[in-house]
C-alpha cells in the first residue's frame, strides 16, 4: 500500500499486474482496497486503484471541490500510464470517471460506470425523479445539517449499503464517521442543477465505449440517471446485475467482473 504525491497532494495508490492499464475509482465512504475482490476476478491487466480525496490514505484539500481534486488526480495518473487506459468507477467514483472521460477522452480506452450518483443530471431532464431523490435523502440531510453524524450515517447506509451502521465493527464505524462529512462536500458537483446542466451538454460529444451497470435491487433513481446518460452518449450499453444493489462491485465482484471482462477489450 503506497503513498504518492500527485499534484502536491498525498494520495494512496495501489498498483499490480501487467498488460493494458485499468484505473479503478471506489465509492464514497470506502477506500481502494474495497475493489481488490473485483480486480481478483478480472483478466490480466495493469491495475491502478487510488483512494479518493479524504478516504484511505489520501488527503483532502477543503479549499478545492472534492470531485475536482479526484479528477485532477485521475488525469495525472492516466497521463503517466502506458497509453490510454480503461477506466472503472463506482458510485461517486463513477461520477469522477465520467467527467474524466468527457474532459480527457484521449487518455481513455473505454469507461465502465457502476451506478454513477450524478443526481444533478436529473434536475432538468427528469425533475420528478430529482425531487423524489431529494425527499428520499431528507433524513440524511437533516442529520448532517445538525452535525449529527451517527444518525446521518445510519440514514445514508440504510439507502446505499447492504450493512447497517450499528452492525459495523467499531473500526468501521469510526471510518464512516470520519468520511461521512465528505458526502456533503460532494453535493455541489453531483447534486446541483448547474453542474448537471454542464455535464448533460457535454455528454453528447462522448464517443468512447461506455457501459452503465446497475444492480437489480438498487434505488430507482439509479436507473433514471443511467437512462439520461444512455440517451445522450453515443456509444453506450446498459447492463443489470441480478441480485445486486448499490454495492454490487463489493457484494457481487464476480458478476460485475464478468461484464467488465467482456467489455474491456484491447
pLDDT in tens, 119-168: 999 999 999 999 999 999 999 999 999 999 999 999 999 999 989 999 99
Q: Model pTM?
A: 0.97
pLDDT in tens, 66-84: 999 999 999 999 999 888 9
Spatial separation of the C-alpha atoms in residues 45 and 130, rounded to whole Å: 38
> Measured between alpha carbons, how far is residue 257 from residues 39, 47, 93, 158, 169 in Å?
8, 14, 17, 25, 28
Residue-range domains of the chain with CATH? 2-122+191-263 (3.40.50.1820)
Spatial separation of the C-alpha atoms in residues 173 and 185, rounded to whole Å: 19
Mean pLDDT of 15-20: 94
Spatial separation of the C-alpha atoms in residues 40 and 44, rounded to whole Å: 9
Question: What is the reported pLDDT for 266?
Answer: 61
Question: What is the reported pLDDT for 171?
Answer: 97
Spatial separation of the C-alpha atoms in residues 153 and 176, rounded to whole Å: 7
Mean pLDDT of 174-187: 97
Would you list the DSSP string of the chain? Answer: -EEEEETTEEEEEEEE--SSEEEEE--TT--GGGGHHHHHHS-S-EEEEEPPTTSTT----TTS-HHHHHHHHHHHHHHTSSS-EEEEEETHHHHHHHHHHHH-GGGEEEEEEE----GGGHHHH-HHHHHHHHHHTHHHHHHHHTT-HHHHHHHHHHHH-SS-GGGS-HHHHHHHHHHTHHHHHHHHHHT-HHHHHHHHHHHTT--S-EEEEEETTS-HHHHHHHHHHHHH-SSEEEEEETT--TTHHHHSHHHHHHHHHHH---
The b-or-e profile of 87-101 (16+ CB within 10 A means b, else e) is bbbbbbbbbbbbbbb
Give 265's pLDDT tier (boundaries 50, 70, 90): confident
pLDDT in tens, 30-44: 999 999 999 999 999
Question: What is the reported pLDDT for 259?
Answer: 97
Whether 1 shows a pLDDT value over 60: the answer reads no
**Is 18 exposed, middle or buried (CB count within 10 Å of its CB: 0-12, 13-18, 19+)?**
exposed
Spatial separation of the C-alpha atoms in residues 106 and 203, rounded to whole Å: 15
Whether 6 shows a pLDDT value over 80: the answer reads yes
Amino acid at each position: 500500500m503506497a503513498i504518492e504525491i500527485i499534484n502536491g497532494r498525498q494520495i494512496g495508490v495501489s498498483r499490480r499486474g501487467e498488460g493494458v492499464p485499468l484505473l479503478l475509482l471506489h465509492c464514497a465512504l470506502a477506500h481502494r482496497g474495497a475493489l481488490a475482490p473485483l480486480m481478483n476476478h478480472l483478466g490480466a491487466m495493469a491495475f491502478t486503484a487510488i483512494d479518493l480525496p479524504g478516504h484511505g490514505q489520501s488527503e483532502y484539500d477543503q479549499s478545492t471541490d472534492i470531485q475536482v481534486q479526484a479528477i485532477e488526480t485521475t488525469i495525472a495518473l492516466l497521463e503517466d500510464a502506458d497509453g490510454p487506459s480503461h477506466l472503472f468507477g463506482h458510485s461517486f467514483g463513477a461520477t469522477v470517471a465520467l467527467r474524466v472521460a468527457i474532459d480527457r477522452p484521449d487518455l481513455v480506452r473505454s469507461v465502465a460506470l457502476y451506478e454513477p450518483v450524478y443526481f444533478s443530471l436529473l434536475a432538468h431532464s427528469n425533475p420528478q425523479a430529482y425531487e423524489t431523490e431529494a425527499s428520499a435523502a431528507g433524513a440524511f440531510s437533516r442529520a448532517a445539517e445538525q452535525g449529527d453524524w451517527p444518525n446521518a450515517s445510519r440514514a445514508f447506509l440504510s439507502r446505499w449499503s447492504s450493512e447497517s451502521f450499528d452492525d459495523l465493527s467499531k473500526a468501521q464505524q469510526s471510518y464512516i464517521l470520519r468520511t461521512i462529512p465528505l458526502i456533503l462536500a460532494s453535493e455541489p458537483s453531483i447534486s446541483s442543477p448547474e453542474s448537471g446542466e454542464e455535464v448533460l451538454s457535454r455528454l453528447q460529444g462522448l464517443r468512447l465505449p461506455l457501459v452503465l451497470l446497475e444492480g437489480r435491487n438498487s434505488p430507482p433513481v439509479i436507473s433514471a440517471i443511467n437512462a439520461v446518460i444512455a440517451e445522450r452518449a453515443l456509444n453506450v450499453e446498459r447492463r443489470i446485475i441480478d441480485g445486486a444493489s448499490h454495492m454490487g462491485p463489493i457484494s457481487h465482484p464476480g458478476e460485475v467482473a464478468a461484464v467488465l471482462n467482456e467489455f474491456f477489450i484491447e
